[in-house]
Amino acid sequence: MLTNNKISSLVIGTLQKRARGQNVAVLSLYCDYQAQKDQSAVNLIGGLLRQVALRARGIPEEIKSAFDEAMKEGGKGLRLPDMVKLFVEAIDSVELVYLCVDAVDEVLPQCRPEFLRALRQIIRDTPNVRLFLTGRPYIRRELDNYLTKEANIIRAVANQEDITKYLSRKIDNDSHQDPDLMTEDLKNDIMRIMLEKASEM
C-alpha cells in the first residue's frame, strides 16, 4: 500500500511537473530485489547517465566520445570512477538535477557501499544535484555513514486517510465484478478491520 516506490513515484511525478520547460532534469532509479544481478554500482550510475542521454537531443558529445574511445579498446564498459566522472560532466550544463533513488535497501549489500560512495561523490562534485532517497528503516544507519548524517529526513507511515483511499479503490474494483456480493455492511466491516489492524502495527 504506502510502499516506498509509491512515494518515489509521487515525488518524481511532482518534480517532473515542476521541471517542465526549464533546464532541470529529473533522473530516477528504482532498485529492485528481482533485478539485483544487474544492479551493480556501475550499472546504476550508468542508468542515470542513460536518462541524461535520453533527455538530450542526440547523444551528448562527452558520452559519444567516451563510447568511441571504449570501442577502440574492444568495446568494454566503463569502470565506476569513469562512469561517475562522465555523469558529472554530462550534467554540468543542467541547472538543477533531481536524482531520485527508490529502495536503496534493495541493492545487493555487497554493492551498496560502492554505490553510496558514488552518490556521495556526485553530490560533492556537483552543487546542482539534489538527491532523494527512499529505503526501509533498517538501512538508515548504513546511509548515515555515507550520505544522510545531516540530511533532511521524513519518516513515511501510512496514515488513516491513505488507508481509506486505498481500500475504497480496491473494494470498488472488486465489487463491480459482482455487485450483489459486496454489500455496504461488508464494505464497512472490511474498512473497520483493516484500519484497526493498521493502527496496531
Partner 1 sequence: MSTSPTGNGRSSSFQHGMSKTQADHRVTENIFVTSNANVGNVSNSYNNIKVGPDEETLRIYEWLSPLEPHKRHQDVRNRRIDGVGEWVLQRSEFQSWCESRSGLGNPTLLCYGGQGVGKTYIR
Looking at residues 44 to 73 of the shown chain, list those that interact with partner 1 (rule: CB under 8 A): 44-51, 53-54, 57-59, 63-64, 67, 70
Identity of the residue numbered 176? H
130 scored as a contact of partner 1 (CB under 8 A): yes
Task: Rule CB under 8 A: choose which of 25, 43, 91, 94 binds partner 1.
Answer: 43
111, 39 in Cβ contact below 8 A?
Answer: yes
CB of 185 to partner 1, least distance (A): 20
38, 77 in Cβ contact below 8 A?
Answer: no
Q: How many CB atoms lie within 10 A of CB 129?
A: 20
Rounded to 5°, angle at Cα 124 from 119 and 126: 95
- Site pattern 84..123 for partner 1 (x: CB under 8 A): ------------x------x-------------------x
CB of 44 to partner 1, least distance (A): 7
Helices 80-90 and 61-72: angle between axes, nearest 10 degrees: 150
> In the window 163-192, what residues touch partner 1 (CB under 8 A)?
163, 165-167, 169-170, 172-173, 176
Task: Rule CB under 8 A: choose which of 5, 108, 113, 121 binds partner 1.
Answer: 5
Grid cell digits, residue 57: 537531443
> In the window 11-40, what residues touch partner 1 (CB under 8 A)?
11-15, 18, 27-30, 32, 35, 38-39
C-alpha closest to that of 99 among 63, 123, 125: 123
